[in-house]
Amino acid sequence: MEDTRNLIDEYKGLPNEQVFDELEKSRTPLEIAIENLEHDFNIGSIVRTANSFNVQKVHIIGKKKYNRRGAMCTDKYLEIVHHETIEDFLKTQENRELVAIENNIKRAKPLNEKQFVQNTTLIFGSENNGITPELLEKAQDVRFIESFGSTRSVNVGVAAGIAMYGYIRQIIL
């Protein structure tokens, strides 16, 4: 029977647990945090992109439930950790640089000027409200993605992909 999962050929036919174990051997040190303020399809999309870049871990802060359809089952191949509160999340982030991707605050600097460190956690907020002030205050760095058209921002799922690729280009490639 043909394996129709969204996997590269190397992993076709393997059980999900074995795919997870194989990926575990080469995880990048990057972690992703999503402040889950709303039931959002974008969270699943970010999880899918995080799998594509083989990130170490995805943290979901807030509601545990999210629309997994956007993840296309890739949530089976990486570690997803739920934190009920920002404080719970922060306890897991010792010795990591927290970089918030947020376009609507004065403190933000252009993403293309960022020099990433290996142990980085990228933080993304909800599409409507962004990252909460409480979590933004804890971020050591805040970056925005430059826009050249009439809109001031891209979709949060797209922003996550751009930021992850920026990290991968500097640290992994």
Residue given tokens 């996997």 in the structure block? 7
Residue given tokens 């194989």 in the structure block? 22
The pLDDT of residue 143 is 98
Q: What are phi and psi of 169, to 5 degrees?
A: -60, -40
pTM of the predicted structure, to 2 decimals: 0.93
* Domains of the chain and CATH, by start: 27-171 (3.40.1280.10)
Mean pLDDT by 10 residues, the chain (173 residues): 89 95 97 81 89 96 70 84 96 98 91 98 90 96 94 89 98 90
- Pairing between strand 31-36 and 120-124? parallel
